[in-house]
Amino acid sequence: MDSDAKLNILTEALAAAGASALAIDARGDVAISTMNDTALERDVAAFVAERLDRIGDGARLVMGRAGTRLSLTVRPTDKEGGGLWVVVVREVRGAAAHAGIEWLNADEVEARYESSAYGIVEGAASVAAPVAESYARGVPLMLEGELGAGQVEIAKRLYLDGPFADQPFVSVALDELTDRGWRHMLKSSESPLFQTGLTLCIEGWNAVGPQRLRELVSTMADTALATRCHVVLTANDMPGGSESDQVAFVTERFACAVSVAPAIAEQGAASTKA
């Protein structure tokens, strides 16, 4: 069997699994590929090549293109004495179709953080000890605080400064999920709940009803989510400064590492970054 026939077999097998693959060098030149779309192949190669100096073995990137999100898993190889990187490409199916679920790269998280009204490097630094505890014990970090204190922005800063910035950041706003979005979260193999290596930021707990809360917590616990991903749960205080019943339940159920975001008055004036 010649090499073209072997490549065709590999291409068909990957396509049946919903994937394609290519191997690139450090310049982004393609050595071999199973992709039929040459424009997409070129874009993927360039996207990965730009990031090779800051990603590790098995890094997973997310690339947006033409309204779709692509998951790219990158691994180095020394095939034939040359430095090549194998990139496995899959479409993140349903990612754009579900309001409240967003997959982002470190580049995108950085851009959003920098353009936000917050400059909370100090806030991120203040939760360093609970973050270390979260990593060590394999439990979620519960980041609480008053409304407007920037808990999600602190979560982004922790992600950018942490050890998992070569993997996607997935934000989930529970209060924005439709019925279809909830089914996707709890049942689909494409749900962020069933992935590995992500930083997963989940907000909107106060709006979740008892049944859905139990279902979500059960899924997170049964699949040992916090041992596979870095999980940051963010919550706004109730009027008067207390935590909601939902947040108290989740915190106790997972024995979360807990930190309180600095109050707005303690953060000083909001950043005026453009």
Report which of 90, 74, 77, 87 is spatially closest to residue 33, judged by C-alpha positions.
87
Domain regions of the chain by residue span: 3-91, 101-267
The CATH number, out of the four listed (3.40.50.410, 3.40.50.300, 3.30.470.20, 3.40.50.620), of the domain defined by the range 101-267: 3.40.50.300
Residue type, 160: L
**Contact criterion met (CB below 8 Å) for 45 and 32:** no
Helices in the chain by DSSP H: which ranges?
Answer: 3-16, 38-49, 106-115, 121-126, 128-137, 151-161, 179-187, 210-222, 225-228, 245-254, 264-267
Secondary structure (DSSP) of 98-122: STTEEEE-HHHHHHHHHHSS---HH
**Contact criterion met (CB below 8 Å) for 167 and 60:** yes
Phi, psi of 61, rounded to the nearest 5 degrees: -110, 160
Show the tokens assigned to 203.
């907000």
Show the tokens assigned to 45.
């190669």
Per-residue pLDDT of the chain (274 residues; tens, 9 = 90+): 666 666 676 677 676 667 888 989 988 999 888 888 899 999 999 999 988 887 766 778 888 877 778 888 888 886 555 588 899 998 876 554 578 898 888 888 988 888 776 655 555 666 667 777 777 788 899 988 888 778 888 888 888 888 788 889 999 999 999 999 999 999 988 889 998 888 999 999 998 999 999 999 999 999 999 998 999 999 988 887 788 999 999 999 999 988 887 766 555 544 433 3
* This prediction's pTM: 0.75
Instruction: Give the pLDDT of residue 93.
Output: 66
Instruction: Give the pLDDT of residue 274.
Output: 33
Instruction: Give the pLDDT of residue 56.
Output: 67
How, if at all, do strands 101-104 and 169-173 pair? antiparallel
Instruction: Give the pLDDT of residue 269.
Output: 42
Tell me, which fold does domain 3-91 have in CATH? Beta-Lactamase (3.30.450)
Three-point CA angle 96, 149, 235, nearest 5°: 60
The span from the CA of 54 to the CA of 74, in Å, is 12
Burial 66-90 (b: 16+ CB within 10 A, else e): eeebbbbbbeeeeeeeeebbbbbbb
